[in-house]
A and B are shown apart, each in its own frame.
Chain A
Amino acid sequence: MAAPSVSCGAAVPYRLFLAGRVSFAREQGLWKAAASGLQTGTRCQILRLKHSPAVTTKKNVAALRRESYTVDFIKKQIEEFNIGKRHLANMMGEDPETFTQEDVDRAITYLFPSGLFEKRARPIMKHPEEIFPKQRAVQWGEDGRPFHFLFYTGKQSYYSLMHEAYGKVLHAEEWQDQLRAKGLFSEKSKSKDPIGSRWLIKEELEEMLVEKLSDQDYAQFIRLLERLSALPCDAAEEEFVGRFRRTVTVQSKKHLIEPLQYDEQGMAFSTGQGKRKTANAEAVVYGHGSGKIEINGVDYLLYFPVTQDREQLMFPFHFLDRLGKHDVTCTVSGGGRSSQAGAIRLAMSRALCSFITEDEVEWMRQAGLLTTDPRVRERKKPGQEGARRKFTWKKR
């Protein structure tokens, strides 16, 4: 092993991985293996002539590009990673034994500061298991006999999963028949899928099985699981089904509704903030009022002489049928008249959420009243007159 030649400021003697995959010793596909088998001259049983790697059609090039990493290569990478981690710890002056992955990440961002926007393009140093895609080990032993009993189907993990699930369905149906025979069967409806969980998506299942699936395969599998979950089953089967469900973050969590606040007179009020282009607004909506709106100390009729802007202010109240019922005091800065109106509208809608029911909040959200408008001014580009407008094209 080479002595660790670490000079201060020298890079870690471990290959860092940039931008996704490293195209390493690319195997030229299966043809090369067969061709080399022919060349060695012994015992190539299937004597058909394979086409040579030099002549490849476009279709085959795509197939050849599928990189495969041998087990030894991965093992070597893991060793190099561990050694490199220790070197890095020494370099940073920390204890190599207690150097966690977070420390590694911090050290790399310190040693290799990168201004790239794409996070995946920055230098990373992670365990090879996370970098190299998971692959299948060789599926058969020394005598050539495959390990899995469904190897010859081509999709052994998927079909063995289907086999197992169907076995559980049969078992559950048998159990149900036994209960019926004893007269102990009761039609109890189980709410098997509450809102908090969903089935695995196809990509997740493919990743779990390390196998490509088609849409029909996936649909069949989900159908079988639904059938299984509809039957009365015991803890083992529930655990089996649970492996293929994922919790889903409930939608409403991201929208926190502020509770009402009360001022000295006992009047309920609520504040909200809004942005539109470069305008920032903060609005305070009072529970009871006559529909007065005050902006930066000025009445809204004077602040917004244009009807369109006043209509924007009116929209949230009109939507909830509370036109003359609330008083609003707001401050706004930045932007132009239209963006200030939009910012105040957003601020008012957010403040109003505290006064109304959850259903009405959902309606407001669907109407677009609670969403910040992401449109900002696009920059002018060199070689063009504006953001999109090009210079006048002259034929000659």
Chain B
Amino acid sequence: MVRSGLPAPSLRTRPRGPPASAAALRRPQALGCRDPGPACSPPPRPDRSARILSEPLKHSDFFNVKELFSVRSLFNARVHLGHKAGCRHRFMEPYIFGSRLGQDIIDLEQTATHLQLALNFTAHVAFRGGIILFVSRARQFSHLIESTARSCGEYAHTRYFKGGLLTNAPLLLGAQVRLPDLIIFLHTLNNVFEPHVAVRDAAKMSIPTVGVVDTNCNPCLITYPVPGNDDSPPAVQLFCQLFQTAVTRAKEKRRQLEALYRLQGAPGPHPADPAAPGAPSPGAQAQLGVGHSP
């Protein structure tokens, strides 16, 4: 089984990772670095896996996450509705469009941009075989989020968060445990309206986070905040569905690319790309473009 592919670096020298187009990947070394020692085996064809991993990084939207949503669909799912003006968090003011009858309205244009970045990052992490952990502390959506995580083959934690789960993981979870590579917060606050402990702990453990931040949340420590409503069922269902689609699409793409590269055997992608569901147009065009040159 091919693991998330950069060769595990030594402690001294850490390769800076793939070129600047991977700026979206905030932690290129962590995915390879985090794996346990004894389980680390070198991939069978290093150049092939390196090519597979570098392929998505050449395009700005390799997985075409833009088509998954629109400002209209966000509006219909009531993502723009925030809390009352009195609950507003100071750091959310840039994301708030305005206030109507005392209720804050979130700027959906900004939400769309942030959401696209977040989904793109999630898809890249899933493509590289990273562990994604969905965290939320809202009892109303606990079942939905756990089902979402299970259906896309990732992990969820919507229960009581034990103190040192991330910071003291070897003791709590096992000696050689692998920590999550991405944490997605569907609710940043816990049941007493305080920031979830996992936000701070993920920042301590250098784990990138994606979070849906409402108008009463603190977006500071979250790597990819997505300003939006986290209280209405349609909004949460939309977010769950978006993340699930992004992850499954990325994994499917990975499987396809691996099959493709394994079939051809020779270095360089094959010009005839087998028809893939949801194949991104820039990706296909790039492959066709590359395939023309021998």
User: A-side interface residues toward B, CB under 8 Å?
Assistant: 30, 33-34, 37, 40, 42-47, 138-146, 149-155, 159, 163, 166-167, 170
Contact = CB atoms under 8 A, between A and B. Distances in A.
B37 A150 contact: no
A150 B143 CA distance: 12
Nearest to B162: A154
Which of A30, A47, A140 has the most C-beta atoms of chain B within 10 angstroms of its own C-beta?
A140
A166 B143 contact: yes
Nearest to A150: B156
Interface stretch (B107-115, B147-155, B228-236, B250-258): B147-155
B58 interface: no
Nearest to A163: B146
A142 B175 contact: no
Contacts, number: 92
23 contacts: A33-B176, A42-B37, A43-B8, A43-B11, A43-B37, A45-B35, A47-B11, A142-B39, A143-B3, A144-B3, A144-B34, A144-B39, A144-B176, A145-B129, A146-B131, A146-B177, A146-B178, A149-B153, A150-B155, A152-B155, A152-B165, A153-B157, A170-B143
Interface of B: 1, 3-4, 8, 10-11, 33-37, 39-41, 129, 131, 133, 143, 146-147, 149-150, 153-157, 159, 162, 165, 170-178, 180
Given A45-B34, A143-B129, A154-B165, A159 B159 contact: yes
Q: Which 7 A-B pairs have the closest CB atoms?
A: A144-B178, A43-B37, A33-B175, A30-B175, A149-B150, A143-B3, A152-B157
A149 B146 CA distance: 8
Contact of B170 (A46, A141, A143): A46
Nearest to B1: A143
Contacts of B40: 43
A45 B162 CA distance: 22
B131 A145 contact: yes
A220 to B, nearest CB: 11
Contacts of A30: 170-171, 174-175
Contacts of A149: 146, 149-150, 153-156
Contact of A154 (B39, B143, B172, B178): B172
Contacts of B1: 141-143
A182 to B, nearest CB: 25
Interface centre among A33, A40, A146 (most CB of B within 10 A): A146
Given A153-B159, A154-B173, A37 B3 contact: no
Contact of B33 (A34, A40, A45, A152): A45
Nearest to B9: A43
Nearest to A216: B160
Contacts of B155: 146, 149-152
Contacts of A163: 143, 146
Of A34, A46, A151, A152, the most chain B CB neighbours within 10 A belong to A152
A341 B266 CA distance: 103
A151 to B, nearest CB: 6
A42 B153 CA distance: 30
Given A43-B40, A143-B129, A146-B155, A152 B175 contact: no
A33 B37 CA distance: 12
A181 B171 CA distance: 52
Contact of A34 (B11, B35, B170, B172): B170
